[in-house]
A = this chain, B = another copy of it.
């Protein structure tokens, strides 16, 4: 039986997941693909590790993987952008196939790393963990013109929003809980401020719309301003709040944006809870397809890494690698739409004094910017409160008009705190 000899860079959770999965399911994979995976070499800056390397030679230097003529495929599982990028480049230059789980390096350098016409570089694990979304975009939906992509692509955010909904807890309480459970990092900014989701959306947008890997083109907003009461009000209005990555082809160009959004409760996406990820793809022939699964974790990510490795195995070591669609290097610049120009219906929660005439002032400020009101929730304040929240769902309105109205509203004497604005997810 043919062997595919693997070199692994890194020995963290994902690398250990890969080793474990080869140990348990290697025979099954061999039966399925006709190729036996073997570990040739494992490189990590740690000292001699205490995990079973399945016969692989241990190195302290990841460049040893590139130098080793017996390594066929290099798995870049060290993360970060500096050394990872260097390793991928040198591996490709040496003619090695590369699989990476590194969303940051692909989001930042995808164009460059994939620039050669026929690059054996794969990165299924970089987006949405175990979900084969990259393969689905590249192959399963290859006959389609993609219209839009909506992704719940950060498990920390989805976990936190789900717990806030189910237990009515405040953001900070849930964050502490998530940190205790290992669902959020000690420094959670990367997740809860949307950067991680933006890396993934950069990749999804590039693949779905054959455009460049341009992280800087995205609008990015996290979930830090969401309060438990927003989730409750949204529910009364028929929505769930989800943190979404949205890439959407419109007449005005390509929208690429990451922010919390109101999703109608009837949508399947609204029922994706906890640490699960999901990506909904709307395309002209296949219609609405949705792919969900665990977005993180050693085993789930290892599953995606090895899916890529096995795709290499299935090509039977032919000299000429079958060209996956992502490697055609035909990325063209689609015009991106500036956030200011994107229309959304909006949820606004406006903390005001509990006085007569305040709602009229709010309505008039919105009206001055031609913003129509679709629904209102205003409740009697509890006896302890001197302020009251006016919750408004607007009709579709362009972002710049909402921004201007928010500025005017903030200047009203009766508005006594920060206004929360959450966009409603587009229906397509």
Q: Is the CB of B299 within 8 A of A287?
A: yes
User: Is A404 in contact with chain B by the CB < 8 A criterion?
Assistant: no
A418 contacts the other chain (CB 8 A): no
Contact with B along A327-368 (1 / 0, CB 8 A): 010100000000000000000000000000000000000000
- For A328, the chain B residues whose CB sits under 8 A away are 31-34
Interface string of A308-322 (1 = CB under 8 A from B): 011100111010101
Closest to A270 in B: B271
Q: How far is the CA of A130 from the CA of B132 in the complex (A)?
A: 15
Q: How far is the CA of A307 from the CA of B33 in the complex (A)?
A: 21
CB pair B320–A325 under 8 Å, yes or no, is no
Partner of A292, one of B289, B294, B320: B289
A17 to chain B, nearest CB (A): 7
Place the interface of chain A in its size category.
35 or more
Residues of B within 8 A of A131 (CB): 140, 289
Docked-complex contact A25 and B303, CB < 8 angstroms: no
- A288 CB-CB contact with B under 8 Å: yes
Tell me if A21 is interfacial: C-beta within 8 Å of chain B: yes
Determine if A293 and B286 form an interchain contact, defined as CB atoms under 8 angstroms apart: yes
Decide: A142 and B31 in contact? CB cutoff 8 A. Answer: no
Per-position 1/0 for A255-267, Cβ under 8 A of B = 0000000000000
Residues of B near A320 (CB, < 8 A) are 316, 318
Q: Which residues of B contact A143 (CB under 8 A)?
A: 21, 25, 29, 302-303, 306-307, 309-310
Nearest Cβ on chain B to A377's Cβ, whole angstroms: 25
Q: Which of chain B's residues have a CB closer than 8 A to the CB of A294?
A: 286-289
Taking CB atoms, residues of chain B closer than 8 Å to A315 are 322
Copies of this chain held together in the complex: 2
* Contact residues of A between 228 and 286, Cβ < 8 Å to B: 268, 271-272, 276, 283-286
Q: How far is the CA of A272 from the CA of B270 in the complex (A)?
A: 12
Contacts known (A131-B289, A287-B299); A324 close to B314, Cβ less than 8 A: yes
B136 touches A136 (CB 8 A): yes
A300 within 8 Å of B by Cβ? yes
A210 within 8 A of B: yes
Does residue A291 face the partner (Cβ distance < 8 Å to B)? yes
| B303-A286 in contact (CB<8A) | yes
Q: Which of A24, A34, A285 has the most CB of B within 10 A?
A: A285
Interface check A290, CB cutoff 8 A: yes
Residue numbers in B under 8 Å from A324 (CB-CB): 314
Question: Which among B24, B142, B297 is the interface contact of A32 at CB below 8 angstroms?
Answer: B142
Quote the shortest CB–CB distance from A38 to chain B (angstroms): 15
- CB atoms of B268 and A272 under 8 A apart: yes
CA distance A130 to B139 in the complex (A): 12
A237 to B315, CA, bound (A): 50
The reply on A407 being an interface residue by CB < 8 A is no
A265 nearest CB across to chain B (Å): 10
Q: Which of B28, B32, B271, B285 contacts A130 (CB 8 A)?
A: B285
Which residues of B lie under 8 Å from residue A210 when comparing CB positions?
Answer: 31-32
Q: How far is the CA of A244 from the CA of B124 in the complex (A)?
A: 29
**In the complex, what residues of B have CB within 8 A of residue A428's CB?**
none
Known contacts A272-B268, A289-B293, A294-B286, A135 near B130 by CB under 8 Å: no
Contact B268 A292 (CB under 8 A): yes
Asked whether A144 is an interface residue with its Cβ less than 8 Å from the other chain, the reply is yes
Complex-state Cα separation, A285 to B142, whole angstroms: 27
Contact B286 A300 (CB under 8 A): yes
Q: Which residues of B contact A318 (CB under 8 A)?
A: 318, 320, 322
- Bound-state CA distance A325–B34 (Å) is 8
Q: List the B side residues contacting A140 at CB < 8 Å.
A: 124, 131-132, 135-136, 304, 307
Whole-angstrom distance between the Cβ of A81 and the nearest chain B Cβ = 27
